[in-house]
Protein backbone atom coordinates (compact mmCIF):
# COMPACT_ATOMS: atom_id res chain seq x y z
CA UNK A 1 0.00 0.00 0.00
CA UNK A 2 0.89 3.65 -0.25
CA UNK A 3 3.26 5.06 2.36
CA UNK A 4 3.21 8.36 4.17
CA UNK A 5 6.29 9.24 6.17
CA UNK A 6 6.53 11.79 8.95
CA UNK A 7 9.76 13.23 10.28
CA UNK A 8 10.82 13.55 12.99
CA UNK A 9 8.91 10.85 14.86
CA UNK A 10 9.88 12.42 18.17
CA UNK A 11 11.11 15.89 18.98
CA UNK A 12 11.86 17.66 22.22
CA UNK A 13 12.36 21.40 22.20
CA UNK A 14 12.61 24.32 24.56
CA UNK A 15 9.76 26.71 25.06
CA UNK A 16 9.89 29.60 22.60
CA UNK A 17 11.58 27.72 19.78
CA UNK A 18 9.99 26.62 16.50
CA UNK A 19 9.68 23.06 15.32
CA UNK A 20 9.08 21.81 11.80
CA UNK A 21 7.41 18.47 11.07
CA UNK A 22 7.49 17.01 7.58
CA UNK A 23 4.88 14.81 5.94
CA UNK A 24 5.88 13.03 2.74
CA UNK A 25 3.90 10.78 0.44
CA UNK A 26 6.59 8.37 -0.67
CA UNK A 27 5.05 6.65 -3.67
CA UNK A 28 2.11 8.76 -4.72
CA UNK A 29 1.14 12.35 -5.35
CA UNK A 30 -1.12 14.17 -2.96
CA UNK A 31 -2.52 17.58 -3.76
CA UNK A 32 -4.33 17.50 -0.43
CA UNK A 33 -2.89 16.57 2.93
CA UNK A 34 -4.33 16.91 6.42
CA UNK A 35 -2.84 17.66 9.78
CA UNK A 36 -4.37 16.21 12.93
CA UNK A 37 -3.59 16.64 16.58
CA UNK A 38 -4.15 13.91 19.11
CA UNK A 39 -4.15 14.49 22.85
CA UNK A 40 -3.38 11.58 25.16
CA UNK A 41 -6.09 8.95 25.11
CA UNK A 42 -8.28 11.11 22.90
CA UNK A 43 -9.34 11.12 19.30
CA UNK A 44 -7.81 12.90 16.36
CA UNK A 45 -8.82 16.48 15.81
CA UNK A 46 -8.39 17.98 12.37
CA UNK A 47 -6.25 21.10 12.52
CA UNK A 48 -5.99 22.09 8.88
CA UNK A 49 -6.22 20.98 5.29
CA UNK A 50 -3.05 21.53 3.32
CA UNK A 51 -3.38 22.25 -0.38
CA UNK A 52 -0.46 22.17 -2.78
CA UNK A 53 0.11 25.56 -4.29
CA UNK A 54 -2.38 27.42 -2.16
CA UNK A 55 -3.01 28.46 1.42
CA UNK A 56 -4.01 25.92 3.98
CA UNK A 57 -7.54 25.84 5.33
CA UNK A 58 -7.61 25.92 9.11
CA UNK A 59 -10.32 24.53 11.36
CA UNK A 60 -12.06 26.83 13.77
CA UNK A 61 -9.99 27.56 16.83
CA UNK A 62 -6.64 26.69 15.27
CA UNK A 63 -4.20 29.60 15.22
CA UNK A 64 -2.85 30.12 11.73
CA UNK A 65 0.18 32.06 12.93
CA UNK A 66 0.96 29.40 15.49
CA UNK A 67 0.74 26.42 13.19
CA UNK A 68 2.25 27.32 9.83
CA UNK A 69 1.55 24.91 7.01
CA UNK A 70 3.39 24.82 3.72
CA UNK A 71 2.55 22.40 0.92
CA UNK A 72 5.43 23.07 -1.41
CA UNK A 73 5.13 20.05 -3.68
CA UNK A 74 2.78 17.21 -4.49
CA UNK A 75 4.62 14.95 -2.08
CA UNK A 76 5.52 17.21 0.84
CA UNK A 77 3.65 19.21 3.43
CA UNK A 78 5.26 20.77 6.48
CA UNK A 79 3.79 21.88 9.79
CA UNK A 80 5.79 24.42 11.76
CA UNK A 81 4.86 25.01 15.37
CA UNK A 82 6.09 28.52 16.05
CA UNK A 83 7.16 29.79 19.44
CA UNK A 84 6.24 26.48 20.97
CA UNK A 85 4.89 26.28 24.52
CA UNK A 86 4.32 23.27 26.77
CA UNK A 87 0.62 23.23 25.89
CA UNK A 88 1.61 22.55 22.28
CA UNK A 89 3.01 19.20 23.36
CA UNK A 90 0.99 16.59 21.53
CA UNK A 91 0.98 13.85 18.94
CA UNK A 92 0.67 15.29 15.44
CA UNK A 93 -0.47 13.05 12.60
CA UNK A 94 -0.67 13.84 8.92
CA UNK A 95 -2.61 12.12 6.21
CA UNK A 96 -2.38 12.39 2.46
CA UNK A 97 -5.13 11.88 -0.07
CA UNK A 98 -3.95 10.03 -3.14
CA UNK A 99 -4.62 12.08 -6.28
CA UNK A 100 -5.27 9.06 -8.43
CA UNK A 101 -8.10 6.59 -8.13
CA UNK A 102 -10.71 6.85 -5.37
CA UNK A 103 -8.60 9.28 -3.37
CA UNK A 104 -7.89 7.05 -0.44
CA UNK A 105 -6.37 8.57 2.68
CA UNK A 106 -3.09 7.28 4.03
CA UNK A 107 -1.78 8.25 7.45
CA UNK A 108 1.71 8.95 8.62
CA UNK A 109 3.14 7.31 11.70
CA UNK A 110 2.83 10.49 13.73
CA UNK A 111 5.24 12.91 15.40
CA UNK A 112 5.37 13.35 19.15
CA UNK A 113 6.27 16.87 20.18
CA UNK A 114 7.36 17.61 23.73
CA UNK A 115 7.95 21.23 24.67
CA UNK A 116 9.91 21.76 27.86
CA UNK B 1 -23.71 18.12 12.18
CA UNK B 2 -21.63 15.05 11.78
CA UNK B 3 -20.66 13.01 14.81
CA UNK B 4 -19.31 9.60 15.59
CA UNK B 5 -19.89 7.82 18.87
CA UNK B 6 -17.90 4.92 20.16
CA UNK B 7 -19.64 4.09 23.43
CA UNK B 8 -16.99 1.74 24.76
CA UNK B 9 -13.83 3.46 25.94
CA UNK B 10 -12.05 0.27 26.89
CA UNK B 11 -12.78 -3.38 26.16
CA UNK B 12 -10.93 -6.42 27.47
CA UNK B 13 -11.29 -9.79 25.79
CA UNK B 14 -9.53 -13.11 26.09
CA UNK B 15 -7.38 -14.31 23.25
CA UNK B 16 -9.46 -16.47 20.93
CA UNK B 17 -12.72 -14.87 21.97
CA UNK B 18 -14.96 -12.97 19.59
CA UNK B 19 -14.95 -9.18 19.47
CA UNK B 20 -17.45 -6.49 18.60
CA UNK B 21 -16.62 -2.78 18.77
CA UNK B 22 -19.55 -0.43 18.50
CA UNK B 23 -19.81 2.67 16.36
CA UNK B 24 -22.81 4.93 15.84
CA UNK B 25 -22.85 7.92 13.58
CA UNK B 26 -24.94 10.95 12.91
CA UNK B 27 -24.79 12.28 9.39
CA UNK B 28 -27.18 14.11 7.13
CA UNK B 29 -26.14 12.46 3.89
CA UNK B 30 -25.12 8.95 2.98
CA UNK B 31 -21.92 8.42 4.91
CA UNK B 32 -18.65 6.89 4.00
CA UNK B 33 -17.55 4.84 7.02
CA UNK B 34 -14.12 3.69 8.12
CA UNK B 35 -12.40 1.74 10.85
CA UNK B 36 -8.78 2.48 11.70
CA UNK B 37 -6.40 0.83 14.14
CA UNK B 38 -3.62 2.63 16.00
CA UNK B 39 -0.84 0.88 17.87
CA UNK B 40 0.85 2.84 20.70
CA UNK B 41 2.90 5.74 19.38
CA UNK B 42 1.99 4.92 15.81
CA UNK B 43 -0.12 6.38 13.05
CA UNK B 44 -3.38 4.96 11.82
CA UNK B 45 -3.89 1.94 9.61
CA UNK B 46 -7.08 1.45 7.65
CA UNK B 47 -8.86 -1.79 8.54
CA UNK B 48 -11.84 -1.45 6.25
CA UNK B 49 -14.23 1.02 4.70
CA UNK B 50 -17.79 1.21 3.45
CA UNK B 51 -18.84 3.41 0.57
CA UNK B 52 -21.82 1.58 -0.93
CA UNK B 53 -23.05 -1.85 -1.95
CA UNK B 54 -22.85 -4.90 0.27
CA UNK B 55 -23.40 -3.77 3.83
CA UNK B 56 -21.05 -6.42 5.24
CA UNK B 57 -17.51 -5.31 4.59
CA UNK B 58 -14.42 -7.46 4.90
CA UNK B 59 -11.16 -5.89 5.95
CA UNK B 60 -7.61 -6.78 6.76
CA UNK B 61 -6.45 -8.93 9.68
CA UNK B 62 -9.70 -10.88 9.74
CA UNK B 63 -11.92 -7.93 10.66
CA UNK B 64 -15.35 -7.23 9.24
CA UNK B 65 -17.95 -4.54 9.79
CA UNK B 66 -21.63 -4.28 9.04
CA UNK B 67 -23.38 -1.08 7.99
CA UNK B 68 -26.89 -0.86 9.40
CA UNK B 69 -28.61 2.25 8.15
CA UNK B 70 -31.69 1.78 10.32
CA UNK B 71 -29.51 1.80 13.43
CA UNK B 72 -26.93 4.31 12.17
CA UNK B 73 -24.29 1.82 13.15
CA UNK B 74 -21.10 0.40 11.72
CA UNK B 75 -19.86 -2.13 14.25
CA UNK B 76 -16.52 -3.84 13.88
CA UNK B 77 -16.25 -7.58 14.50
CA UNK B 78 -13.67 -10.32 14.61
CA UNK B 79 -14.52 -13.96 15.35
CA UNK B 80 -11.28 -14.80 17.16
CA UNK B 81 -9.02 -12.15 18.66
CA UNK B 82 -5.24 -12.46 18.66
CA UNK B 83 -2.91 -10.87 21.20
CA UNK B 84 -1.51 -8.66 18.42
CA UNK B 85 -4.94 -7.06 18.01
CA UNK B 86 -4.44 -5.09 21.21
CA UNK B 87 -4.55 -1.44 20.09
CA UNK B 88 -6.77 1.61 19.83
CA UNK B 89 -9.59 1.43 17.31
CA UNK B 90 -11.19 4.46 15.70
CA UNK B 91 -14.39 4.69 13.74
CA UNK B 92 -14.61 7.58 11.27
CA UNK B 93 -17.17 9.06 8.90
CA UNK B 94 -17.01 11.37 5.91
CA UNK B 95 -19.25 12.50 3.09
CA UNK B 96 -18.85 11.57 -0.55
CA UNK B 97 -16.33 13.90 -2.10
CA UNK B 98 -15.52 15.52 1.21
CA UNK B 99 -11.99 16.01 2.40
CA UNK B 100 -12.55 15.64 6.08
CA UNK B 101 -12.85 12.61 8.29
CA UNK B 102 -14.63 12.86 11.62
CA UNK B 103 -13.28 10.44 14.17
CA UNK B 104 -14.88 8.82 17.18
CA UNK B 105 -13.13 8.97 20.51
CA UNK B 106 -11.72 5.50 20.09
CA UNK B 107 -11.96 2.17 21.87
CA UNK B 108 -8.92 0.69 23.52
CA UNK B 109 -8.74 -3.08 23.18
CA UNK B 110 -6.83 -5.16 25.69
CA UNK B 111 -6.31 -8.85 24.97
CA UNK B 112 -5.59 -11.17 27.87
CA UNK B 113 -4.00 -14.61 27.48
Cβ neighbours of residue A61 closer than 8 Å, sequence gap 6 or more: none
Q: Which residue of A has its CA nearest to B44?
A: A107
Mutate to test the interface with B, among A43, A95, A114 (most CBs of B within 10 A): A43
CA dihedral over B45, A76, A73, A52, signed as positive or negative: positive
A93 phi and psi angles, rounded to 5 deg: -125, 135
How many of the other CB atoms lie within 10 Å of CB of A31? Answer: 16
Are the C-beta atoms of residues A12 and A112 closer than 8 Å to each other? no
Nearest by CB to A109, from B43, B46, B108: name it: B43
**pLDDT digits over B60-108, tens only?**
999 999 999 999 999 999 999 999 999 999 999 987 666 678 899 999 9
Contacting residues of A for B52, CB less than 8 Å apart: none
- Residues in A closer than 8 angstroms to B95, CB to CB, are none
Question: Do residue B41 and residue A34 have CB atoms under 8 angstroms apart?
Answer: no
10 Å CB burial of residue A70 (0-12, 13-18, 19+) is middle
What would the pLDDT profile of B11-41 be if each residue is shown by its tens digit?
A: 999 999 999 999 999 887 778 899 999 988 7
Cβ count near A27 (within 10 Å): 12
Residue B39 sits at the vertex; the CA angle it makes with B109 and B85, to the nearest 5 degrees, is 45
User: What is the band of A99 on the pLDDT scale with cuts at 50, 70, 90?
Assistant: confident
Confidence of residue A42 (pLDDT cuts 50, 70, 90): confident
Apex CA B58: angle with CA B54 and CA B59, to 5°? 140
Amino acid sequence: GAVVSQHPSRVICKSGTSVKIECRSLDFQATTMFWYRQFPKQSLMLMATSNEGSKATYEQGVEKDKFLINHASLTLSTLTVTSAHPEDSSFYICSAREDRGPGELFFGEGSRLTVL
Amino acid sequence: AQSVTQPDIHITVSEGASLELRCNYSYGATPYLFWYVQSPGQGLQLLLKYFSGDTLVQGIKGFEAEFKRSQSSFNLRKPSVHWSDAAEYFCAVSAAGANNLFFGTGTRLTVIP
